[in-house]
Each structure stands twice: as structure tokens, then as C-alpha cells.
Amino acid sequence: MLSDALLKVSGMNVSVEDKQILHDIDLTIQPGETHVLMGPNGAGKSTLGYALMGSPRYKVTGSLLLKGEEIVSLPADQRAKKGMFLSFQEPLEVPGLSLESFLRSAVSERTGVKVRPWEFRKQMKKVMDLLEISPEKAERGLNVGFSGGEKKKAEILQMLLFRPDIAILDETDSGLDVDAVHLVAEGIRTYQQEAGGALLIITHSTRILEPLRIDRTHIMVDGTLVREGDASLVARVNESGYDQFIPTKEA
């Protein structure tokens, strides 16, 4: 059956080393929609991000449709090529591969077109200026010696150049100072408005969400999506925490 959904997850179970972490996940994201995923530490939010992206560490069953195509058995690089992007909670350092050449090959891989170095540099410089990333970072080994905030900004830079159909951002705002949160949020807003891309934003904070349009909010507890709502659910979590969504803690 044809479906308009960009991403349609049905009955997805995820385990690591024979331990089941996610249970019967259903999640539908339409093109251009922004979804927020919240939940206590250890709930399984990062696991969901990795499983969606196809990290080989996780055993995944169920269905995972991207633009109507079953991708549950595709490796991560194929999913990236088809338009998925994951910003890691803890970005890896890759000595010997410069940020610029990494991004250029990622963008070429995504578009199937070889990007000319000169043109790419110009395009990249524009986005680096927007995010206030200092120019010398382009030549440095990917994330090597970057501060926590710089790594997160580099992920947003990658997202803005890569222009995925859907970006999963895993606590991109954690460990950022006030100015960096603002810049990262503006970068995400640019992606939302100009690229029209969909987002799944994993976060504990509302600051990064302030400038963004939020379409749906999901709460995850113990590997299960327990509640779905609109943007007002974010405010409710911030006021009263997660206990209200944990069945055993209900009064």
C-alpha cells in the first residue's frame, strides 16, 4: 500500500546482546514534520536513534519504512544515502580525516554528484559563519581537539550541508553554553524552514526548542513509547517531570 509517511515504524523491537531494550515501537513521521522525543535517562532514546539509523550493534525486528520502502535490513550507509542523518550524543573523533574532506565526501555520496572542492568550500564557509565555527576547524581532523560544543556545532554543520530528509538529533544541546545553544537552535531552524527537512529531536531542554515549530511530542519510559501529544506536552514534562507517565508511580 502506498503511504505518504516519510518514516513509518511499526512493531519495532530492539535488543542489544540478547537484552531487549525497545518494545513494540510505533512511530510515524510525515515529510517536514518536527517530532520531539523525551524520557528519563536510560529510557532507550539513543537506542531508538541508533536502531533507526541502522547501527550494526542492535538487533531489530518489525518494520521500518522510509518513503514506503522497507529499510529494516539496510546498513547505515545505505540509509544515509536514502536521506537519513543521525547526530550522535557523543560524536567520534577521527584523526587524519579533515572536517572538510569528510563533509565533502558525505555530501557527494548523498547527492551522487562530485562536488568541486572550491565550490564546496564556499558553501561550507557560509554555514560555518552562521554557526560561528572558526575557519581553521575545516582543516583539522574531524572533531579532534574540538570542545563538546564545537563537536555539536560540527554535527549541525553536517546536517545543513547534507540536507537529509530526516535528521535525528540526540541531545545536540547537552553541554552547550547559552550562546552555542542559540546558534545550534538557529541552525536547526534554518534546516526546518529552508530545507523543509523532518526532525526527530531527542532532548531534555526546552531552550533548543524555543525557536522551532514542534508538530508532535513523544514520551519514552523503559523502552516503550507511553504518550504522544502536541507541543504542549514538552511544557508539561518541564513542569511536572516524567513520574506522571510511569504507571507504577501513578497515585
Q: Which of 11, 42, 68, 196 binds ligand ADP (CB under 6 A)?
A: 42
3-state secondary structure 43-83: CCHHHHHHHHHCCCCCEEEEEEEECCEECCCCCHHHHHHCC
Rank residues 30 and 174 by Cβ distance to ligand ADP and give the closer one.
174
Contact between 41 and ligand ADP (CB under 6 A)?
yes
- 135 Cβ contact list (under 8 Å, min separation 6): 125, 128
87 binding Mg ion? (CB under 5 A):
no
Q: Which of 46, 158, 203, 217 binds Mg ion (CB under 5 A)?
A: 46
Kind plus residue range of the DSSP H or E element containing 14: strand 7-16
19-38: which residues touch ligand ADP (CB under 6 A)? 21
- Stretch near ligand ADP under the rule CB under 6 A, chosen from 14-22, 74-82, 96-104, 127-135: 14-22
Q: What are φ and ψ of residue 180, in 5° steps? A: -65, -40
What is the DSSP-derived secondary structure letter of residue 211?
T
Judged by CB under 5 A, the stretch of 39-47, 60-68, 141-149, 228-236 that binds Mg ion is 39-47
Question: Among residues 53, 56, 47, 4, which one has the least CA distance to residue 25?
Answer: 47
The binder of ligand ADP chosen from 18, 57, 69, 113 (CB under 6 A): 57
Among residues 34 and 46, whose Cβ is nearest to ligand ADP?
A: 46
Comparison of 47 and 172: residue with beta carbon closer to ligand ADP: 47
The residues, any chain, with a CB within 8 Å of residue 141's CB and separated by 6 or more, are: 93, 94, 95, 96, 97, 98, 99
Instruction: Name which of Mg ion, ligand ADP, none residue 42 binds, using a CB cut-off of 5 to 8 Å depending on partner kind.
Output: ligand ADP
- Which cell is 49 given? 536513534
Contacts with ligand ADP, residue ranges (CB under 6 A): 16-17, 21, 39, 41-47, 57
